[in-house]
Amino acid sequence: MDAAKVLIVDDEPNIVLAIEFLLQREGYRTEKAYDGIQALEVAEAFQPDILILDVMMPGLNGFEVGQKIRQMPALEYTKIIFLTAKGTQRDKETGYASGAEMYMIKPFDNEELVAAVNEMMAYG
Amino acid sequence: MGLSVVVGCSLAYISLLFLIAWWVDKRATELRPGIVSSPYVYALSLAVYCTAWTFFGSVGRATTGGLSFLGVYLGPTLLAPLWFMLLRKIILISKNQRITSIADFISARYGKSTNIGVMVTLIAVLGIVPYISIQLKAVTFGINTLTHFGEAAPAPKPHFWQDAAFWVTLAMALFTVVFGTRKLDPNERHEGLVAAIAFESIVKLIAFIMVGVFVTFGLYNGFDDLFGKALQQEQTARMFTFSGSGITPFSWNMLMLLSLFAIILLPRQFHISVVENTHPRQITKAMWVFPLYLLLINIFVLPVAMAGKMAFGDTIHPDTYVLSIPLSQGANWLALIAFIGGFSAATSMIVVEATALSIMFSNHVVVPLLIKTRLFGQGKDMVDGASRLLDIRRICIMLMLFLAYLYQKSVGSTYDLVSVGLISFTAAAQLAPSLIGGIYWKRGTRQGAITGLAIGFLFWAYCLPLPSMAQAGIISDEFVKNGLFGLSFLKPYSLFGLSGLDPITHAAFWSLLFNTWFYSIVSINSKPSMLNLTQADLFVNISKYIGRQDSDILKREAKVSELRNMLNRFLGEQRTIAMFQEYESMNQVKLGQQQLAQADLVNFAETHLAGAIGAASARLVLDSVVKEEAITMDEVMRILEQTREAVEHGRLMEAKNAELKTLTLQLTTANDQLKNLDRLKADFITTVTHELRTPVTSIKSLSKIILDYSDELDDNRKQEYLRILVMESDRISRLINQVLDIEKIQSNEAPLNLDTVNLSDLVRQAARGMEQMFAEKQVTIRLHGTDKPNNLRADRDRLMQVIVNLLSNALKFCNPEDGQIDVELEQSGDKMLLRVRDNGLGIPPTMQQLIFEKFTQLHSQTQGKPHGTGLGLFITKSIVEKHGGSIRVESHSVAVPQGAMFEVRIPV
């Protein structure tokens, strides 16, 4: 079986850098995008199993990206994890309504993030 | 056509009117919903305004004066939109005071003055007689035209019993007596009469339109054909133009003003629109129905006038065209219908006018006279006062019509219909200052009204009816030619040397001017009586009094038995009993015979009595039985004080109310602002925490990676991660500093440390401090205008912050290949200008305002994601504004990179 694919989307390169390192050493194939529009393009080509998505980004925000992904039949099985500094209950609700499987708040814990991705790959 | 046919048709028509009136009155007594309460009936009854003058005279006037006939209808049309204010107020007052006529209205306003009642009545009677006379004339020549068409005019008859006009007068008088004085109503309401008048309005409208249609579409092929032919003849082409009418703009305006007054002040108009009104809300419908009626009845005036002129030239009097044209075409049936139309216009006018005048004359002249001479209402005779009142009115009607007949015989025959009618309009207009002033101006006094009315009446009489009588040869015409006593400035047609106006305009101008002037001046300089004061307040502020009986200021007492006896004489036993029952049930009391009637019962009796004999007479009658307690000066002062206090209090309340409203508004605004501020603050905190969380996230994650997987990382990676850690830590501290900075600048706790600052030095200093950074990115910086001091008052450190912020922004966004920054200083007036220009991509127009807001950042072309906090420009702007200056950015194009230029202006 091919390695599972994860797309990391965040406008902060340093955060992308950290997540990339954590997932690659677990054996995942990763791709990255720095804004919402780029994220949609990469996602279509890369067909990720998991999408780690920031919310506050220039252009399209993460919620909008999530909704767009959910409308793409090719990405029907892609799971979305929001990883954002927006932490209110309302933000969470919006996040789940935009088609997310999980909503994590920054600053995150390295182990927790990795565990979440692993779990999601193991149990669907 | 035979005389018997004409008379027979007229009698049949009159019988029909009786039938209508009888049927409506019967319905009314059966308490079924009154036909008269319909606003359409009300509006139609108002069309009693259109008399035989309109029906026959408009055509005549149009023939000689073109469009000038319209003025009389434009005035009321212009006033109609104001009815809901003016007319409504008059109606409310009249219902409250049980007003029975215009004389009653004006006399009641000025302290129920008997003198004013008499004056208004005399002005009305003398002024309206010419008007009635033209109705008689119109009917008479109508009959003559129908019976003698095509023959030579009948020779004047030596005896009055051979004169058609005499018999017409007699018939009209009888008709009016039967119609207008059938019963005595406490409110002078005659539902049957109103219904008949409304019916007559329909008849005359239809009749006139039928003639118009016959002329326009029967004799000609529609308006185009008729007007086209009329245009080809000089004498008819004239009618199309205003200038052809020979009427000056001043005369036009005066004509409209006169008719505007007439629609309310003519006794019959007042009677129909006010006294007969069943509910003020009828006005709203009448406001458009009545002008529409005027429009419809005027549509065919010009066509008929033109057709008549073209057919007959000057051989037939134009006032008879409406009849002559159908007759000349052999359409006798139509001529008969037209005659009935004109006949109905004349009868409706005469009936209502004579009824209204007879009410005025009996209530304000005859009854007071009889009471004063103790011929009436005194003694022990059991003659019913009510039937006596009716008798008086019947005699009045007879007399008035006889007077009109005499006038028509002597004077009226030499003038056309409209000219005579306008004499009456001018007389009625004399009531305008006292009436309009009376309901809008509290200061108007009895003395003022008397003086104004008298002077206005004298000028009117001297300028209009007297000269016309002179011309008829009744009195010497010496004064017309050379002025009274040979004084040329007293010539009645060019008074005080004012010439060049037609007689009507001339008379209206002088009489109304002096009338108004004397009314105002005398009012201001005279002291009103107590009753005058209370009545003035009631009339001007009627809304306060709605639903209340008379004011209780005057203390009056009378024995119930005496009051009852007196009322019996004037109202009849039945109505008196009914009135007392009404009072008892209203106030839940039982009145004994010997009991003393208090002020409210006396007032109650007075208003009822006023309904029968007018306010002034009622007051006179009551004075005979009522003991008016002498009011001491103290009491007057107390009453006045109370009124004043009440007014003051009211004003205070109003002011307080307004204050409260403003306060509420201010509170709401403040609350909104606070809410807004709260929201802004919450937004700010959310953004700041987000901005803090981002670097903390990278720091936390990367430091944990270094800690946990040290052995998996090569040295380069470690170095890179550590460098990021330092960078992100810097970012956090920078953000914290700037947030604190904003707090400091925006709060007033840290005022600016003002000092004389040499801006040139400051710029050089900043550039030097950043030399290293410029060198790293190979950016050149050029300073302009720093060779002279450029001093200004400012906070040195803050100003430095501004310069450094602008320079680092320029550095961040300038062209990465060949970076260039220009700094320019310039003094312009009392402002110091600092410009910083880069040669980067520039700023898109949509962003140019936003960049000065908190947390808006542009992506620089070198770094993608900017590494600022988004607060720099906001802080810069805050500092500049705190110095009383301003900052703006100029950047024209992004497509062709021209860079951006920031300009700061700070007052020296």
pLDDT, residue B30, reads 66
pLDDT, residue B631, reads 47
Cross-strand pairs, B903: B835, B888
Cβ contact A107–B705 (<8 Å): no
Measure the CA–CA gap between B346 and B670, rounded to whole angstroms: 69
Q: What is the CATH number of the domain that holds B715?
A: 1.10.287.130
Q: pLDDT tens digits for A103-114?
A: 999 899 999 999
Are B895 and B849 members of one domain?
yes
Q: pLDDT tens digits for B120-165?
A: 999 998 888 888 888 888 888 888 888 877 665 555 555 666 677 7
Measure the CA–CA gap between B28 and B123, rounded to whole angstroms: 34
Please say whether the beta carbons of B873 and B884 come within 8 A.
Answer: no
Q: Dihedral, CA atoms, B251, B254, B259, B260, nearest 10 degrees? A: 140
Domain that holds residue B871: 752-907
pLDDT of B488 > 80? The answer is no
In a domain, B482, yes or no: no
In a domain, B2, yes or no: no
Of B100-104, B554-558, B718-722, B760-764, the least confident: B554-558
pLDDT, residue A43, reads 93
Are B588 and B684 members of one domain?
no
More confident residue, B396 or B854: B396
Are B699 and B785 members of one domain?
no
Chain A residues bordering chain B (beta-carbon distance below 8 Å):
11-15, 17-19, 21-22, 25, 34, 56, 58, 85-86, 106-108, 110
pLDDT, residue A52, reads 95
Q: In chain B, what percentage of residues exceed pLDDT 90?
A: 11
Q: Which of A34, A110, A111, A113 to mutate to test the interface with B (most CBs of B within 10 A)?
A: A110
Q: Tell which phi-psi region holds residue B547, choosing left (phi > 0), alpha (psi between -120 and 50) or beta.
A: left
Strand pairing category for B780-784 and B627-628 = unpaired
The alpha carbon of residue A91 is apart from the nearest alpha carbon of chain B, in Å, by 12
pLDDT of B553 > 60? The answer is no
Measured between beta carbons, which residues in chain A are less than 8 angstroms from residue B712?
Answer: 25
CA atoms within 13 A on the CB side of B517: 8
pLDDT of B484 > 80? The answer is no
pLDDT confidence of A86, banded at 50, 70, 90?
confident
Are B670 and B736 members of one domain?
yes
In a domain, B464, yes or no: no
Are B82 and B40 members of one domain?
yes
Are B601 and B712 members of one domain?
no
Domains and CATH numbers, chain A: 5-123 (3.40.50.2300)
pLDDT of B549 > 50? The answer is no
In a domain, B437, yes or no: no
In a domain, B458, yes or no: no
The alpha carbon of residue B677 is apart from the nearest alpha carbon of chain A, in Å, by 20
Residues 6+ apart with CB under 8 A from B116: B103, B106, B107, B110, B434, B446, B449, B450, B453, B616
Distances (CA, A) of B411 to A47, B162, B317, B405, B508: 112, 19, 17, 10, 20
Q: Nearest CB to A85: which of B694, B700, B864?
A: B694
Q: pLDDT tens digits for B663-707?
A: 888 888 888 888 877 777 777 787 788 788 888 999 999 999 999
Q: What is the CATH number of the domain that holds B270?
A: 1.20.1730.10
Cβ contact B724–A25 (<8 Å): no
Distances (CA, A) of B701 to A10, A17, A84, A109: 14, 10, 14, 7
The alpha carbon of residue A83 is apart from the nearest alpha carbon of chain B, in Å, by 11
Closest CA to B298 of B213, B172, B387, B209: B209
Amino acid, res. B203: V
pLDDT, residue A53, reads 94
Backbone φ, ψ for residue B246 (5° rounding): 70, 15
Please say whether the beta carbons of A83 and A108 come within 8 A.
Answer: yes
pLDDT, residue B705, reads 92
Q: Across the A/B interface, how many CB contacts are shorter than 8 Å? A: 56
Cβ contact A14–B728 (<8 Å): yes
Cβ contact B701–A25 (<8 Å): no
How many distinct structural domains can be found in chain B? 4
Cβ contact A110–B865 (<8 Å): no
Cβ contact A12–B698 (<8 Å): yes
In a domain, B479, yes or no: no
Answer with the one of B740, B768, B788 that is the final residue of a domain: B740
pLDDT, residue B637, reads 54
Cβ contact B705–A108 (<8 Å): no
pLDDT confidence of B853, banded at 50, 70, 90?
confident
More confident residue, B471 or B417: B471
The alpha carbon of residue B795 is apart from the nearest alpha carbon of chain A, in Å, by 37
Q: pLDDT tens digits for B272-296?
A: 888 888 888 888 888 899 999 999 9
Residue-level length of chain A: 124
Average pLDDT, chain B: 81
Closest CA to B553 of B470, B633, B639: B639
Closest CA to B570 of B543, B533, B539, B607: B607
pLDDT of A18 > 90? The answer is yes
First to last CA, chain B: 104
Measured between beta carbons, which residues in chain B are less than 8 angstroms from residue A90?
Answer: none
In a domain, B241, yes or no: yes
Measured between beta carbons, which residues in chain B are less than 8 angstroms from residue A15?
Answer: 694, 697-698, 701
Mean pLDDT comparison of A84-88, A100-104, B486-490, highest-scoring range: A100-104
Give the angle B207-B210-B212 at the CA atoms, nearest 5°: 110
Average pLDDT over residues B305-332: 85
Answer with the one of B740, B771, B797 that is the final residue of a domain: B740
Are B580 and B638 members of one domain?
no
The alpha carbon of residue A61 is apart from the nearest alpha carbon of chain B, in Å, by 15
Task: Using CA coordinates, name the residue in chain B closest to A14.
Answer: B698
In a domain, B505, yes or no: no
CA atoms within 13 A on the CB side of A54: 31
Answer with the one of B740, B773, B792 that is the final residue of a domain: B740
pLDDT of B749 > 70? The answer is no
Closest CA to B420 of B77, B57, B67, B123: B57
Measured between beta carbons, which residues in chain A are less than 8 angstroms from residue B705?
Answer: 18, 21-22, 110
Residue-level length of chain B: 908
Are B228 and B300 members of one domain?
yes
Are B757 and B874 members of one domain?
yes
Backbone φ, ψ for residue A52 (5° rounding): -100, 120
The alpha carbon of residue A63 is apart from the nearest alpha carbon of chain B, in Å, by 16
Cβ contact A15–B698 (<8 Å): yes
More confident residue, A41 or B679: A41
Are B135 and B175 members of one domain?
yes
Task: Using CA coordinates, name the residue in chain A closest to B859.
Answer: A58
Q: pLDDT tens digits for B857-892?
A: 665 444 445 556 677 888 888 888 888 889 988 887
Are B77 and B150 members of one domain?
yes
User: Strand order of the sheet with strand A50-53?
Assistant: A29-33, A5-9, A50-53, A79-84, A102-105
Q: Which of B694, B719, B723, B724 to mutate to test the interface with A (most CBs of A within 10 A)?
A: B694
Average pLDDT over residues B540-548: 69
Of B267-271, B300-304, B354-358, B735-739, the least confident: B735-739
Q: In chain B, what percentage of residues exceed pLDDT 70?
A: 85
Of B46-60, B147-161, B452-466, B718-732, the least confident: B147-161
pLDDT, residue B809, reads 86
Are B53 and B94 members of one domain?
yes
pLDDT of B457 > 90? The answer is yes
